[in-house]
């Protein structure tokens, strides 16, 4: 007995697609005016807000053969919530623009929206999707704008680190890079094209690494905790510790001296979405942060690593590295 083919975005109207999204997000809005009007209205009297935007494109940023729609929704929320947290702000709203190929199954839309909702609920309770846009293209593209409030705190910038400060990070660095390497090493065909993941072939450690890559869980709440503890500088580690620590060091006019032993994945991988922060030497580190080095006066290098004579370049640069992931 044959079954009718699932309906796709190309079979539906924009209104039908939006109904799927709204149904998945039902009841999550905390805005004065939420999704469905020309713009959302947020009640933030006397507040300073932070706003950030990130784009995920099929190909360089994710592959549908590897990512479920739900996981992709979680990741789309997570990577933006981490940027808000890195400013010391509390996330309050996401605005999501979806560019969908005609052949996209309608089920993808509702599952993706459910993933967005879960990402907000788990990582930033009280934050919700408050609007966005839909359009059509041959390439699936997800653009998310995240909004957060500072609640009277000063924003924590990249430029505030001072010599003598303690350098600290959250979480395990390198897991997402290991997960990505696993995908390219074990789940591609002979031509290098991605194939679905066979979870039964994975060890528990490999499943953890894949989860770090496909549905990251950044420590969003620790952004506010770091700000309240007096963090002098902070940023999201999304492009690898070397590259991001170098950005913080150059913005602050200092050198970040990393102590201890580091794997190459931790130094040069990416997409961990941990938090890198500096704290005055007399500050108590919030629970979840661990000290990994010191801030020194600006030297020849923006970042030094104990035991490495030359740390060299590292990190994910989409303009430099995209060709290496094409296929």
Q: What pLDDT score was predicted for residue 34? A: 60
Alpha-carbon gap, residue 202 to 269, rounded angstroms: 21
**pLDDT confidence band for 30 (50 / 70 / 90):** low
Q: Domain 14-149: what homologous superfamily?
A: PurM-like, N-terminal domain (3.30.1330.10)
Does 133 count as an annotated binding residue?
yes
Residue 251 phi, psi dihedral angles, 5° rounding: -65, -35
Total residues belonging to the chain: 327
pLDDT over threshold 80, residue 59:
yes
Does 158 count as an annotated binding residue?
yes
Q: Quote the Cα angle for 322-193-97, to 5°.
A: 55
Global confidence as pTM: 0.85
**pLDDT confidence band for 41 (50 / 70 / 90):** low
Alpha-carbon gap, residue 144 to 183, rounded angstroms: 25
Range 254-268 average pLDDT:
93
Dihedral sign, CA of 182, 183, 186, 191?
A: negative
Q: What pLDDT score was predicted for residue 326? A: 44
Instruction: Tell me the two tokens of residue 173.
Output: 């660095």
Residue 149 phi, psi dihedral angles, 5° rounding: -120, 145
Alpha-carbon gap, residue 72 to 23, rounded angstroms: 18
Q: What pLDDT score was predicted for residue 45? A: 62
Q: What pLDDT score was predicted for residue 304? A: 93
Radius of gyration of the chain (CA): 21
Does 238 count as an annotated binding residue?
yes
CB 106 within 8 A of CB 9: yes
- Neighbouring C-beta atoms of residue 321, cutoff 10 Å: 14
Does 321 count as an annotated binding residue?
no
Does 138 count as an annotated binding residue?
no
Residue scoring higher pLDDT (57 or 314) = 57
Q: What pLDDT score was predicted for residue 2? A: 66
Q: What pLDDT score was predicted for residue 319? A: 40
Range 191-215 average pLDDT:
95
pLDDT over threshold 70, residue 21:
yes
- Helix ranges (DSSP H) in the chain: 14-24, 69-85, 106-123, 175-186, 204-214, 221-228, 241-252, 264-268, 318-325
- Neighbouring C-beta atoms of residue 149, cutoff 10 Å: 18
Q: Is 255 exposed, middle or buried (0-12, 13-18, 19+ CB in 10 A)?
A: buried
Alpha-carbon gap, residue 10 to 65, rounded angstroms: 20
Residue scoring higher pLDDT (275 or 308) = 275
Does 53 count as an annotated binding residue?
yes
Which 3 state secondary structure label does DSSP give 247? helix
Does 130 count as an annotated binding residue?
no
Q: What pLDDT score was predicted for residue 40? A: 52
CB 119 within 8 A of CB 73: yes
Does 282 count as an annotated binding residue?
no
Does 236 count as an annotated binding residue?
yes
Domain positions in the chain? 14-149, 158-325
Alpha-carbon gap, residue 261 to 272, rounded angstroms: 18
Q: What is the CATH number of domain 158-325?
A: 3.90.650.10
Does 99 count as an annotated binding residue?
no
Question: What pLDDT digit, counting tens, does each position of 216-242 carry?
Answer: 999 999 999 999 999 999 999 998 999
pLDDT over threshold 90, residue 28:
no
């Amino acid at each position: 007995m044959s079954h009718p083919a699932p309906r796709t975005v190309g079979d539906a109207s924009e209104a039908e697609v939006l109904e799927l999204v709204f149904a998945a997000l039902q009841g999550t809005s905390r805005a004065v005016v939420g999704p469905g009007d020309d713009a959302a209205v947020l009640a933030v009297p006397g507040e300073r807000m932070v706003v950030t935007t990130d784009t995920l494109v099929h190909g360089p940023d994710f592959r549908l053969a590897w990512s479920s729609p739900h996981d992709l929704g979680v990741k789309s929320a997570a990577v933006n919530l981490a940027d808000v947290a890195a400013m010391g702000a509390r996330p309050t709203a996401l605005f999501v623009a979806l560019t969908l190929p005609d052949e996209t199954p309608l089920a993808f839309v509702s599952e993706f929206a459910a993933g967005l909702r879960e990402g907000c609920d788990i990582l930033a309770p009280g934050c919700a999707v408050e609007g966005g846009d839909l359009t059509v293209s041959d390439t699936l593209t997800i653009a998310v704008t995240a909004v957060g409030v500072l609640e009277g705190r000063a924003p924590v910038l990249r430029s505030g680190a001072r010599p003598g400060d303690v350098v600290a990070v959250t979480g395990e660095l390198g897991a997402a890079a290991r997960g990505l390497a696993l995908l390219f090493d074990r789940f591609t065909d002979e031509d290098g094209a991605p194939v679905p993941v066979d979870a039964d072939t994975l060890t528990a450690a490999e499943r953890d690494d894949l989860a770090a890559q496909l549905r990251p869980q950044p420590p969003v709440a620790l952004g506010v905790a770091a700000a309240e503890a007096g963090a002098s500088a902070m940023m999201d580690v999304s492009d690898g510790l070397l590259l991001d620590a170098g950005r913080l060091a150059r913005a602050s006019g200092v050198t970040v001296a990393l102590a201890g032993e580091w794997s190459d994945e931790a130094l040069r991988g990416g997409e961990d979405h941990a938090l890198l922060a500096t704290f005055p030497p007399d500050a108590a580190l919030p629970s979840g942060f661990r000290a990994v080095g010191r801030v020194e006066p600006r030297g020849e290098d923006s970042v030094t690593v104990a035991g490495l004579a030359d740390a060299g370049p590292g990190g994910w640069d989409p303009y430099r590295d995209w060709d290496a992931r094409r296929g």
